[in-house]
Amino acid sequence: MEAYKLFRFNRVVIVGGGAIGTALANALAYNEKTETILYSIEPDVVEEINTRRHNTKYFPGVRLMEGFRATTDMEVFRHADGVFMAIPSVAVVDFVRKHASLLPADAAIVNLAKGFGPQGRTISEVLMEEFSFPVAAMKGPSFARELIQGSPTGFTIGCTQSGLWHAFEELFEPTPVYVDFSKDIRGVELLSILKNIYAIAVGIMDAQFNTANLRFLFLTRAMAEMREVMLLFGGKKPTMFKYCGFGDFGLTSLNDLSRNRTLGLLIGKGFFNEQISEKVLLEGKIAVNVFCGHLQRKGRLSDFPILEGLNQIFDGSIDRGAFARKMLSK
């Protein structure tokens, strides 16, 4: 802990000029003591942010704050204290592998992506195994379109180096971002994946019944099963009640801005095919396959009927009606 006692984020680089990367950079602009730089591979996005203070590709009509800049120049990584990865989960590990030599030895790598890394391992675990950088996971109930407007937004910082927690508190103190903390980085990562899976299931049930009683009956079952899966895969009990757990699951499963809930609604209404929400559908299938594969090898899949039912929906062995009957069996 003493090793990080004086650590602070003087310069932060956010990787990814998409929705969440831009929203986080805009939030950090409230902190005048930290230099915030948004790195993007899209020259048009960079130019528009720097010259017009807009990112119309992701936030049409929203004027961005002046307190950050964008760049395509990778030299900015050489003096970064923190690198926040706001790119798709499949790209995070490869990006760090390719550019690790540019980073200072004590730069913190913060993963915002929600998904598995290579070989079905969590992204943070892969980064911690392969590199000596301090690693954190940052997950929570956060719609980018609300954060960009300055809405107070919660995130859990999962980081085994608790000595760094003070630096995150200092970084976000002047911003709309609220943080809680956990050493259970595996649980934080797992919940960010599981909540998307179970939000699909909630959407499927809501589409077929749309009653408050059933919604919260099923939501309770889903949350309980999600918690048991997290524990079986190595997460810790208290993590479920951080922003990354109850908060993110509630937001993702009950709000129609959620892509995963929307996918579930479409499936529940009978519009399931390979074209609808293709990217979200693929992410959901991959995550379900990873968890179900592990559970099958343990002989435990039947203990988790929601996961099992989603797997059957995705492989076409049951339809939405059979899924609903399975979910309501006593």
E-assigned strands of the chain? 11-15, 35-39, 68-71, 82-85, 108-111, 135-139, 153-158, 177-182
CA distance 287 to 261: 15
Tallying the residues shown for the chain, one arrives at 330
**What does DSSP say about strands 135-139 and 153-158: parallel, antiparallel, or unpaired?**
antiparallel
Query: In whole angstroms, what separates CA 4 from the centre of its chain?
Result: 26
CA distance 226 to 253: 12
Let me know if 33 is a catalytic residue: no
Catalytic annotation, pick one of 183, 195, 279, 285: 195
Helices assigned H by DSSP within 148-277: 165-172, 185-209, 212-232, 248-254, 259-268
Active-site annotation, residues: 195
